[in-house]
Amino acid sequence: MAKRKKAAGRRRARAADRFGDFAIDDAVEAQAMLGDLADTPAESEARYREGIAIAERDRGADWFERQAGRLGRMPEARAYLQCRRGLVQCLVATGRHEEALAECERLARLDTDDTISARFMHLDILITLRRFAAARALCSRYAHEPYSGWPYFRALIAFADGGDSAEARRLLSEAIEANPHVPRLLLAGEQIEGEFSIVTVGEEDEAAVYAGNARATWLDVPGAMSWLRGCVDAAHAPPDRPRRPPSGARLDALAALPQDGAEEWQIDLSRGPGREWSLHVVSGDDGRMIKVEVSTTKPRGEEMWNVLDQAMRFPHDGEPRRPAVVAMRPGVFPASWGKRFLRLGIRQEVRDVLPELDRAMADVDDRIALAERARAEEADAGFDPAAVAAALAGLPQVPGEIWEADVSPAPAWVTGEGEPYRPWLTLVVSRTQNQVIVPDMSMARPDDGHLLRVVLRAVREAGIRPERLDVADAGVAARLGGPLGRAAIGVAASADGLAMIETVAESLAVAIAGPDTLRPLARVPGMTDDVQRALYAAAADFYRARPWRKLPSDTPLDIRGPGDRLVHAVVMGQSGIQQGLAVYEDRTTLAAAMRGDEKAAARSTSLAVMYGEAFEIAARDHDAIQQRGFEVAGPEAWPLVIRMEPGFAARPPLVWEAELITACLRDVVKRVAAGGDRP
């Protein structure tokens, strides 16, 4: 009997060794699920460790070592591996990357097939710890996989290790060829919606999965995102998403616009001598311009329809309306538009000749030619005082007429296709008449003679000479004073600034960037250089400390600010969407924000510092940082500091709020240095 019991025990042991004890598996799986559902990394870690302990206690720790390499093929080990994978995530979330790396190496040994996809966490940790040789080796191990993420990781590692090198660019070019959609999604920084159980290699769904999982890693390599943006030129630009036809509701909204039964519009697409494409919508009655759109690439059908849609909703001339007739040349626009015109009650006519449109285009060409001739004459005049005096001879001078003139980068970023930029804006305005005389915009930085040439053009167009011209500084006044002095125009550096040019520039900023453009921090009443310098220095130290790699995302930090003011802060950046710090005045508001309660968030207030590229902050703040030498930690570390008001309205912080968030940034840096995350 004893021998039979011993033999049965050996058989059960062999069976357990081969198939596992399913009751034990259930307990381990329960701990894995509870770890996934826990509210904090600490609670999750406790559950995962308990699951690991149950499995190792009941099977014996040496059982897993005996099965090393093939655990991923054993169903009874699945929950155990999930617990170990969850443990790695908790260690990363709490900044214990060395421990997390050791766990990843254990998982790689236990499950050589990597059935739980731990290799991506492993690679992220290696890049975070700057173990580039090991990261390259890991990429090489999986080079056979038909996944476009690996080429992007190889390019990122090359940049992180050697900067903007020929090798890094070569690898990035290979990555873009493998999947051209990835850069756009990585740079957009948007949450990826939906689940992707199956993806198509080289397509947008694969790119969405990679961008969602890898953006935090890219953000953690200083300069990588701006490098990516700069490298993705027109030759590598991914194809635009197919433009969707307008919805029935949008067409119904257009159909509800008023209509004059006799009004005709003429529309055409043409290519100019500079190879640019122009889409013009003009009145068929008198050639007045209703809408014009210029682009460097030929617009597609839905892009052209969008221009016509905007012409009806927001015409340059008159109120929103529908025309009765739209005339166009044959073969230019899609045949599918016919059904839309029918639904809108618009008659479509196809004609070989569009006289009013042709006359309007000829007038545009004449104006361009006239402007080019004027520029050529101004260039010939140069800075020669006698030539300037001769050019202005015979024009009357108006006593008391004061003008302002300035050339500077536009007060807003132009974003959209290609790398964001700020065009150069030259303005000549009459302070006396309160009007703009000449606006001029150029992509390249103008030369020293440009401002004089524009002033000469303004004098010719106005038909008078001002008594005085105010400019921004003494250096400009000295350069213009000699030539304009021969024409009896005084030039002075304005001690009080160029108020009217500033007003016009701000209006242009709204026109370029939209009405919701955030006002600059530098223009907040009472904001001093000292307050800004302290804030930017604290923000730079915070960025370099990388607290999003060391503190959990759901850990509220109680901070005592100036005047012993108690606030509650949360570090952002663990998800890879937005790096920074959010500060709330009470725990209730913070709790609502952390659980995603949008209604509560819409009623609350908060302060935040968010990091991004230069074009993501106000253009005037960008100028102030560069001109006054304020500190910025890197190309993606330009700090946008905002105060969120009820209704999600954003504004720059007041002086005391800037001092408060400065104190909060410094407090978090001290905690990270001390290795703690709680008061």
Q: Pick the range with the lowest mean pLDDT from 198-207, 269-278, 288-297.
A: 269-278
Domain at 21-231: CATH code: 1.25.40
Round the average pLDDT of the chain to a whole number and report it.
83
The residue with tokens 């635009």 is: 240
**Residue 184 tokens, joined:** 């756009």
Q: Pick the range with the lowest mean pLDDT from 21-25, 98-102, 410-414.
A: 21-25
pLDDT at residue 483 above 90?
no
Fold of the 248-361 domain:
Nucleotidyltransferase; domain 5 (3.30.420)
When pLDDT is averaged across residues 199-224 and rounded to a whole number, the result is 86
Q: How far apart are CA 98 and CA 128, in angstroms?
A: 10
pLDDT at residue 376 above 50?
yes
Query: What percent of the chain clears pLDDT 70, i.e. is strictly above it?
Result: 86
The pairing of strands 277-283 and 289-295 is antiparallel
Range 8-28 burial, b when 16+ CB lie within 10 A, else e: eeeeeeeebeeebbeebbebb
When pLDDT is averaged across residues 30-58 and rounded to a whole number, the result is 89
Q: Are 157 and 139 in contact (CB under 8 A)?
A: yes
DSSP E strand stretches across 524-620: 557-560, 566-572, 580-584, 606-612
Residue 84: per-residue pLDDT: 94
Q: Are 423 and 442 in contact (CB under 8 A)?
A: yes
User: For 308-348, what is each residue's pLDDT tens digit?
Assistant: 888 888 787 778 899 999 999 888 888 878 889 999 999 99
pLDDT at residue 207 above 80?
yes
When pLDDT is averaged across residues 266-286 and rounded to a whole number, the result is 80
DSSP E strand stretches across 52-182: none
Matching fold, domains 21-231 and 248-361 = no
Q: How far apart are CA 267 and CA 356, in angstroms?
A: 10
Residue 138: per-residue pLDDT: 94
Q: Are 451 and 431 in contact (CB under 8 A)?
A: no
What class does CATH assign to 382-513?
Answer: alpha beta
Domain boundaries, given as residue ranges, for the chain: 21-231, 248-361, 382-513, 521-674
Residue 266: per-residue pLDDT: 93
Nearest one of 580, 581, 601, 582 to 592, comparing CA atoms: 601
pLDDT at residue 368 above 60?
no
Q: What's the maximum distance between 2 C-alpha atoms anywhere in the chain?
A: 129
| Residues 6 or more apart whose Cβ sits within 8 Å of residue 489 | 392, 397, 465, 466, 467, 468, 469
pLDDT at residue 211 above 80?
yes
Query: What percent of the chain clears pLDDT 90, i.e. is strictly above it?
Result: 34
**Residue 235 tokens, joined:** 């030759």
